[in-house]
Amino acid sequence: MSDSPAQAQDLLDRALESGRIHSSYLLAGPSEVVRDAALGFARGLVCIGDGPKPCNACRECMRSKPSEEPVDLDGSGKSGPLYRHIGDHPDLYWVDKGRDGTRVRIGQIRATQKALRFGANEGGYRVAVVADAEWLNHEAQNSLLKLLEEPPDRTCLVLASASSAPLVATIRSRCQKVRFPDSNSGDLRSGDLSEDRAIVLSRFDCIRGNTLPDLLDWAEEYRGSRAKAAEQVEVMLDIGSSWLSEQIKICVSEQQHVVRAQLDAHKTLSQCRKDLVQRNANPQMVAERALLAVRKSVA
């Protein structure tokens, strides 16, 4: 595991410099950070310039420059292309769930498998980035395993995930893992928190005084459109996990059973995240289970 985002990026830069490339990578950390890192790494794999890659000056880098109007390769994007080339480079592919999506679909993964079956058009690497990898549903993960087990020559699959927890262990074990720590993870109460996240954090600070009806009312706020509710519950689970980590550090010198209870709650939140993503669970029900687990751990 990397101690800082800079160290994580250095691991990728050294791989590009040495030419020792694994067939698959799992980049885990804050969503925008790992998406940017995955994009840069993919572009670096096809760069033919000298010095640090991508050089942003060679022919291949110009072709892989992200387009403002990307073209959807399978016609499935309702809120933007979900399966597309990076820029107009024929050897670079990008998959994500889209702004309004609630999962990365098996059809996208099958299209990726088909694309990686063939050699690179330009004689280098053929690369696919699966952004939002934490939103791969169960079928898509099983399909992805086949690609990980028998990777074609000179191909690279890059998974970018806000959390590796929703991914099955066999996927995690077959990837070269690069962890991008959250630069704010050491300070949950950083002034950089958005107003919405700060409100959720303050509610966790008050959770000891919440009754069961209070928690159910909180969970009921995550009703409505599943896509929007799932996104909000994801934020709540993220902050809840960080809040529990903070509490564990505070309690580590106290009675062992207190720490154990909070570790159990941490596991419950990880399972809630898996249920939300892989099993298409009802966001309100997921929120209820998570909030009750946190409240019980600090009783």
**CA 119/CA 211 separation, integer angstroms:** 60
**CA 159/CA 95 separation, integer angstroms:** 10
Q: What is the pLDDT of residue 74?
A: 56
**CA 222/CA 233 separation, integer angstroms:** 7
Q: What is the pLDDT of residue 96?
A: 87
**CA 32/CA 94 separation, integer angstroms:** 15
Those residues whose C-beta lies under 8 Å from the C-beta of residue 250, and which sit 6 or more positions away, are: none
Please state the pTM of the whole predicted model: 0.65
The pLDDT profile of the chain, 299 residues, written as one tens digit per residue, is: 455 778 889 999 999 999 999 999 999 888 889 999 999 999 999 999 988 899 999 999 999 998 765 555 554 544 344 788 999 999 999 998 876 566 788 888 998 999 998 878 877 899 999 998 988 888 889 999 989 999 999 999 999 988 777 788 889 889 999 988 766 555 566 655 677 888 888 888 888 888 898 899 999 999 888 888 998 998 899 889 888 887 777 666 445 556 778 888 999 999 999 999 888 899 999 999 999 999 988 76
**CA 7/CA 2 separation, integer angstroms:** 6
Report the 10 Å Cβ neighbour count for 99: 11
Tokens for 261, please give them.
Answer: 């209870």
The architecture of the domain spanning 5-179 is 3-Layer(aba) Sandwich (3.40)
The distance between the two most distant Cα atoms of the chain, rounded to a whole number of Å, is 63
Q: Is the peptide bond before 70 cis (omega within 30 degrees of 0)?
A: no
225 burial via Cβ count (<10 Å: 0-12, 13-18, 19+): exposed
**CA 54/CA 42 separation, integer angstroms:** 9
Tokens for 14, please give them.
Answer: 């050294």
Closest C-alpha to 262, from 219, 208, 184: 208
Q: Radius of gyration (Cα) for the chain, nearest Å?
A: 20
Mapped to the 3 state alphabet, what secondary structure does 235-289 carry? HHHHHHHHHHHHHHHHHCCCCHHHHHHHHHHHHHHHHHHHHHHHCCCCHHHHHHH
Tokens for 86, please give them.
Answer: 């990076």
**Is-contact 24 174, C-beta < 8 A?**
yes
Beta-bridge partner residues of 40: none
**Is-contact 179 146, C-beta < 8 A?**
no
Summarize the chain as % helix, strand, coil (round to 5).
50, 10, 40
Q: What is the pLDDT of residue 102?
A: 66
- Measured CA to CA in angstroms, residue 299 lies from 56, 63, 261, 276, 293 at distances of 55, 57, 10, 26, 10
Report the 10 Å Cβ neighbour count for 78: 10
Report the 10 Å Cβ neighbour count for 71: 11
